[in-house]
Chains A and B, each alone.
Chain A
Amino acid sequence: MKSLDPRVNRINPDIEGVSNISLENPDEWITYEVFHQKRRGEQHIHVGIVHAPNPEIALILAKESFGRRRQTANIWVVRSSDVYSTSYDDQDIFMTTPEKTYREASDYYCMDRIRKYQKEHGIVNRKELKEAKEPDTK
């Protein structure tokens, strides 16, 4: 498609010599995943990708694409092909059946047993201990 801007010359895939460009196997730069850190010490969060021929160029491009409009302490770039992922076909591996609450802490009722143990051993719980130290002056 010809651009309306006279300064733009787009590659015409029909012309001789460039017909071997294929979308399946493009002779192009690679993609880098960009991770952004807001403040030092916080986690890096994935924000998008940039195209670049190497990590150095990826970093200078990521700085402007993802760092210029938000507070930034640090940026990581990682070659997309170095990221390993699970398959969406296997998404069912993350399904938890409702019958597995015994695997969650909230399913355990044990305060009565803790209190009984404390009483038997004369252990005052933390709240009572605090009140004992600072008696009500009223």
Chain B
Amino acid sequence: MNSKYNEALKELLYKIADDQLIIGHRNSEWTGLGPIIEEDIAFSSIAQDKIGQSRHFYELLHKLGEKNPDIIAFTRSEKDFRCCHLVEYPIGEYDFSLMRNFLFNNSEHIRFQMLCGSSCKELSGLAKKYTGEIKYHIMHADTWVNQLGNADVEANSRMQSALNECWNLALGIFEEGPYLEILREEKIFSGEEELKNSWLEVIIPKLEKASLKIPDTNTWEPSLGGRYGYHTEYLKPLLDEMCEVFRLDPEAEW
């Protein structure tokens, strides 16, 4: 296996795992504060699922020669993270967090469907393993978006503002990395553009059903940079908090 292939695969794995870890950590901030106890449980559980998924991707990276999962997750600097800007934003109000989950989870579901056919067997195995879990995540997000979008005027306008706020951030999910060609040639992953188009096909009817409208195409400005280590001002404080205990003693046995 040549080194270029390895670099491309690692880049893809880091992107997927970092998105999961950061959105999982962000969403865990709702634990204990959810609107009702049943939703608190569901939302927190989904957040934990994401962190669990990221662990498996970090383990795969470890097999490819990277450091162990804890070191990767808790000791890298902001510049080394490959997550998109959408997952970095603070939780805001519940409408924002739900809309972010809706947009992100639907993209992740399609990404994993694409990866089920990947030539990298470990990667397609992981994608298949998590299909059911992510299916519930989109079921949860879709149901809430539909419910609130079709509720009263206040709920609808809150969800619409959340969608407007999230939109360009969400487009940043699909920032193409530096290894597109090799990923395609080796049939590891067919690229972000294809993912984005499938995503639009899936979410637009769902949003219409929820009486919500995506912003006009002439206002689309993807929030880029995350996949190359350029992040929003919100990532650094998140990492400081998330890694605080681990960094006190990275050698400690847990």
Residues of A within 8 A of B (CB): 5, 7-8, 29, 50-54, 56-57, 60-65, 68
Contact = CB atoms under 8 A, between A and B. Distances in A.
A75 to B, nearest CB: 12
A13 to B, nearest CB: 18
Contact of A61 (B32, B42, B146): B42
5 contacts: A54-B147, A56-B143, A56-B147, A60-B42, A63-B136
Task: List 10 A-B pairs, minimum CB-CB distance, nearest first.
Answer: A64-B42, A61-B38, A50-B38, A64-B45, A60-B140, A56-B143, A60-B143, A64-B41, A65-B38, A65-B41
Nearest to B140: A60
Contact of B147 (A5, A7, A53, A68): A53
B214 interface: no
A14 B146 CA distance: 34
Contacts of A8: 33
Contacts, number: 39
A29 B136 CA distance: 23
A8 B36 CA distance: 13
B148 to A, nearest CB: 10
A7 B41 contact: no
Interface of B: 32-33, 36, 38-39, 41-42, 45-46, 136, 139-140, 143-144, 146-147
Nearest to B43: A64
B171 to A, nearest CB: 27
Contacts of B140: 60
A7 B91 CA distance: 13
Nearest to A68: B45
B241 to A, nearest CB: 14
Contacts of A50: 38
B200 to A, nearest CB: 24
Nearest to B146: A56
Nearest to B151: A53
